[in-house]
Structure 1
């Protein structure tokens, strides 16, 4: 069995390559290696490389959430069409597809409106009208995957980071070295997820052949706000967490609306026989304390 990871240059793709079991052939594919938006290219690649019993983990996604508001065509090409092309290929050859999705697919209220729920989302809680273009294209991608390959597994996650340059955790560390005070939103609630923890969970999913045809939720356990996460980052770096000050989403308007509440229930994941991911605080400590 070979495992092909589209979007292999991204956070989860790199984490999958770094955490793969001994003896497992893991092939990361960047967009330069395989343009998932090109149906003919995907068909050629699948004929030349893919065999029944192989696995595709689709981490390829248009994730520039704000840019998607003004470039829906580009987001659709990757998040919807690209997902459909891979699902067609996996179904035609008898390979397994694991498709990564997001908390943004839910149509709950966007911040700064207070969340109207306190119970974590279950997979079937999806409605039909996420507030952002990114969320709508990811939901359409899920539906395209299901239409073309009913046996595919859809794994939703949220707030993914590694602590490197460009993600929230890495940005907080950089800003803490540059500024005396950091102002961070405190009215969006979710579950920070360490990419290597998610990757290890995905490897367990693959090795156990679990969750075929299911939608599963996989995040680190627990919940916090971006403000709470930033405070924990500074504390773990030996800095004063009181340098972080809370603000509202309305204080920092962005083109794309953000979910006010996007905590995902782990019951689908553990119900598939998979180990729960660690608490987000323990995961953050593993990321930052070497």
Structure 2
């Protein structure tokens, strides 16, 4: 089985690369933005014709949420138009597509965990382009799985956990938003889930939600990091309004994961257990 993975140097791509060594029966082809530039939409079919994968794992995305407000065209190319091309190629070549999406397709106005069929109403450019990418996959008729996730972190790349470690080491006091609710996702756990789905023989197309178990705020997440690492830095909780950003954030993005657990028999670790594992690795 030939598996193409885009975004090889990102958080999820790096974890897939590590875990892929445990699947010698598969031929993994990892590509980064230089080898498979998703903003070069017109060349997508040619590149896929050259590789001819059986499965595409699209772990690449334009994820600079605030910058996307000014770079709408680039974000749309990466998160929407290139994804549409991948889906059409898969539909035309009897290949499968596993695409990673985001909680940002929702508006954050819910107060209960979001199921896969909850109404989509993104509130920023990043969420809008990811929403359009999902819709393009569905319209294509491709044999596809879409996994929405949230608050991704790992030992690789830039993320909240690594930022907190740096700030807690440098400062005596920091402020973290305490009114945005969700659950983080350790990219290693998501990578394990993806590889399990692909190699289980239980491929069932559709949309699924995946994040670690639990319900916390960013402030709670920071407190957990401090407790596990033993930093003495004071963490103050602040409102979203007190920390304005160019792009609006959903205030509630807790994902309902019942469907992915029931379909594939997953046991999903708690956010605290996975955070401890990641911090031990770091």
Q: Same fold (TM over 0.5)?
A: yes
The answer to whether residue 243 in structure 2 is matched with residue 252 in structure 1 is yes
* TM-score with structure 1 setting the length: 0.92
Using the TM superposition, give the Cα deviation of residue 211 of structure 1 relative to its aligned residue in structure 2, in angstroms. Answer: 4.7
Question: In structure 1, what is the equivalent of residue 9 of structure 2?
Answer: 9
Unaligned runs of at least 5 residues, structure 1: 110-116
The answer to whether residue 200 in structure 2 is matched with residue 208 in structure 1 is yes
Question: In structure 1, what is the equivalent of residue 76 of structure 2?
Answer: 76
Cα distance in 2, alignment partners of residues 166 and 55 from structure 1 = 27
Question: In structure 1, what is the equivalent of residue 36 of structure 2?
Answer: 34
Cα distance in 2, alignment partners of residues 25 and 274 from structure 1 = 25
Question: In structure 2, what is the equivalent of residue 135 of structure 1?
Answer: 127
* TM-score with structure 2 setting the length: 0.94
Cα distance in 2, alignment partners of residues 26 and 126 from structure 1 = 35
- Tell me if structure 2 keeps the 8 A contact 1:8–1:28: yes
- Tell me if structure 1 keeps the 8 A contact 2:113–2:254: yes
Q: Structure 2 vs 1, CA of residues 126 and 274 (structure 1 numbering), >3 Å: closer, same or farther?
A: farther
Question: In structure 1, what is the equivalent of residue 168 of structure 2?
Answer: 176
Question: In structure 2, what is the equivalent of residue 114 of structure 1?
Answer: none
Cα distance in 2, alignment partners of residues 196 and 233 from structure 1 = 17
Question: In structure 1, what is the equivalent of residue 114 of structure 2?
Answer: 121
Cα distance in 2, alignment partners of residues 210 and 191 from structure 1 = 26
Unaligned runs of at least 5 residues, structure 2: none
Question: In structure 2, what is the equivalent of residue 191 of structure 1?
Answer: 183
Offset from partner CA, 1:53-102 (integer Å, 9 cap, x none): x1100012110000111221111111110110111111111111000000
After the TM superposition, list the runs of 4 or more consecutive aligned residues in structure 1 that deviate by more than 6 angstroms. none
Please report the RMSD computed on the Cα atoms of aligned residues, expressed in angstroms: 1.5
SS in structure 2 of the partner of residue 99 of structure 1:
strand
Matches within 5 A, 1:213-224: 213-224=205-216
Question: In structure 2, what is the equivalent of residue 113 of structure 1?
Answer: none
What count of residue pairs does the alignment treat as equivalent? 279
SS in structure 2 of the partner of residue 27 of structure 1:
strand
